[in-house]
Amino acid sequence: MSDALARRLNTSDAVTVGLSAMIGAGVFAAFAPAAGAAGSWMPAALALAAVVAYCNATSSARLAALYPASGGTYVYGRKRLGDFWGYLAGWGFVVGKTASCAAMALTFGAYVAPALARPLAVGAVVALTVLNLFGIERSARVARVLVAFVLAVLACVVTAAFLGAPAVTDARPVPGPGFAGVLQGAGLLFFAFAGYARIATLGEEVREPQAIPRAINISLAVTLTVYALVAAAALTTLGPVVLAGSAMPLADVARAAQAGWLVPVVVAAAAVASLGALLALILGVSRTVLAMARERDLPSVLAAVHPVRQVPYRAELAVGATVIVLTLVADLRGAIGFSSFGVLVYYAVADAAAFTMSREEGGPVKLVPAAGFVLCLVLAATLPWQSVVAGLVVFAVGIVLRMMGSSLRRWS
């Protein structure tokens, strides 16, 4: 039985997977807390988040082209920095993004029927896990449909805001956000861009590995354009005070723009976007689990690849089962901060790995990964202290588990 994955994704498919991960449920919710942190300086926070995303995307793209294997930064860290740093990145990605999977599933359930949020979340995880088991091409086709619908709805919201909006609901600035507020706003908005990691983690399934940087750059550029337009529409229509207090920002933009007919469409798009993000997350996490299992940093039984469909079916089933448990027992709103912490550590390792690349290997200009590394650490430090402490504790647990696993392997 071969343990290699089939290279079935073209550049368009890779772009679609990246877009479905980036233009997910976050676009319908992220601007409210960002406005609460940065106030009327939210555009500056968005610009800073875009700079961090560009640095990290450039590092990830160059590394993915050089090492087109499943696992993303887990693989790059092992190759360039050593096994420990690769493990640290992989652990942060798997634990943090598994929590994000559950959050996306619960978001879907909450939008469709709040009283049945958990059963609907479980159903969504089961359905998308089964879809992934039938092959990545089908997953990419479904992601394309979801992305097209969400982009169409966002275009309608932005158009309504600029053409039909009355005066701003409340133009008062949020008082005194300061530079720390801009940094925290950037930290919140950065994760709207973090989906390009999903393209890198699928590197073993892209037909032409050299197309990975192009796919990442295209998906990042499209996402930045969309987010800039949505942010401008939200600030123009609601103002930072109302936006900061909104539970459903884009639905409120539609109402303020006197386009009430758009509100149920926005709700539907939020549910669809949650499914798209969940689909891409399950794909990315299962591939990192596969890579870690191959190196025995996770149980080797998870390294199996289906002989016909050539997908990591045991890793996908394990991820799906874990997400289902989380959706049933956890209130994950507090876990989002930890997820953010884990992803920033993941990208900091990617930047450090890219910094070691030579120009002959296709490495970026040294300033890019250096800036990305520093900015990742700065944004991680500005997260709420509870998130930082929780992140450090979970990473410490991961390190202890690795030490125990190494000892067992040495004595076996």
pLDDT class of 350 with cuts at 50, 70, 90: very high
DSSP 73-134: HHHHHHHHT-HHHHHHHHHHHHHHHHHHHHHHHHHHHHHH-GGGHHHHHHHHHHHHHHHHHT
Q: What is the pLDDT averaged over residues 109-125?
A: 86
Of 149-158, 197-206, 235-244, 337-346, highest mean pLDDT: 149-158
Q: How far apart are CA 33 and CA 4, in angstroms?
A: 42
pLDDT class of 7 with cuts at 50, 70, 90: low
At residue 106, the pLDDT reads: 83
The overall average pLDDT reported for the chain is 81
Q: What is the pLDDT averaged over residues 387-405?
A: 86
At residue 73, the pLDDT reads: 86
Q: How far apart are CA 69 and CA 107, in angstroms?
A: 31
Q: What is the pLDDT averaged over residues 236-254?
A: 85
CB-based contacts of 347, cutoff 8 Å, min separation 6: 56, 59, 60, 73, 194, 197, 372, 376
Q: What is the pLDDT averaged over residues 89-98?
A: 86
Please provide the distance, in angstroms rounded to a whole number, between the alpha carbons at the two ends of the chain: 25
| Residue whose tokens read 């994950």 | 332
Q: What percent of the chain has pLDDT over 90?
A: 18
pLDDT class of 275 with cuts at 50, 70, 90: confident
pLDDT class of 412 with cuts at 50, 70, 90: very low
Closest CA to 80 of 281, 369, 297: 369
Q: How far apart are CA 292 and CA 71, in angstroms?
A: 7
* Burial class of residue 47 in the structure, from the number of CB atoms within 10 Å of its CB (0-12 exposed, 13-18 middle, 19+ buried): middle
Q: Helices H, strands E: what count in the chain?
A: 16, 0
Of 112-116, 123-127, 237-241, highest mean pLDDT: 123-127
Residue 165 has pLDDT above 60, yes or no: no
pLDDT class of 173 with cuts at 50, 70, 90: low
**What single-letter DSSP state applies at residue 206?**
B
At residue 85, the pLDDT reads: 94
Q: What is the pLDDT averaged over residues 74-96?
A: 90
| pLDDT, greater one: 277 or 195 | 277
Look at 81-85, 129-133, 137-141 and tell me which has the smallest mean pLDDT.
Answer: 137-141
Say what the alpha-carbon torsion angle 241, 243, 244, 248 is, to the nearest 10 degrees: 150
Q: Amino acid letter at 67?
A: Y
Q: Amino acid letter at 98?
A: T
Residue 17 has pLDDT above 90, yes or no: no
| pLDDT, greater one: 34 or 210 | 34
Structure tokens at 95: 């634990």
Q: What is the pLDDT averaged over residues 160-180?
A: 64
At residue 1, the pLDDT reads: 43
Q: Are 228 and 193 in contact (CB under 8 A)?
A: no
Look at 53-62, 158-167, 197-206, 300-309 and tell me which has the smallest mean pLDDT.
Answer: 197-206
Closest CA to 105 of 94, 116, 91, 95: 116
At residue 309, the pLDDT reads: 67
Closest CA to 132 of 123, 142, 122, 144: 142
pLDDT class of 394 with cuts at 50, 70, 90: confident
At residue 396, the pLDDT reads: 92
Q: Amino acid letter at 86?
A: G
Look at 142-151, 249-258, 403-412 and tell me which has the smallest mean pLDDT.
Answer: 403-412
At residue 374, the pLDDT reads: 96
**What single-letter DSSP state applies at residue 9?**
B
At residue 170, the pLDDT reads: 55
* Burial class of residue 4 in the structure, from the number of CB atoms within 10 Å of its CB (0-12 exposed, 13-18 middle, 19+ buried): exposed
Residue 377 has pLDDT above 70, yes or no: yes
* pTM for the whole structure: 0.77
Alpha helix ranges (H) inside 257-334: 262-294, 313-329
Residue 185 has pLDDT above 70, yes or no: yes
At residue 155, the pLDDT reads: 93
Tens digit of each residue's pLDDT (9 = 90 or more) over 309-348: 677 788 888 988 988 988 887 665 566 667 778 888 989 9
Q: What is the pLDDT averaged over residues 136-144?
A: 64
Q: How far apart are CA 104 and CA 283, in angstroms?
A: 14
At residue 6, the pLDDT reads: 55
Which domains are assigned to the chain? 11-405 (1.20.1740.10)
Residue 9 β-bridge partners:
206
CB-based contacts of 410, cutoff 8 Å, min separation 6: none
Q: What is the pLDDT averaged over residues 31-42?
A: 84
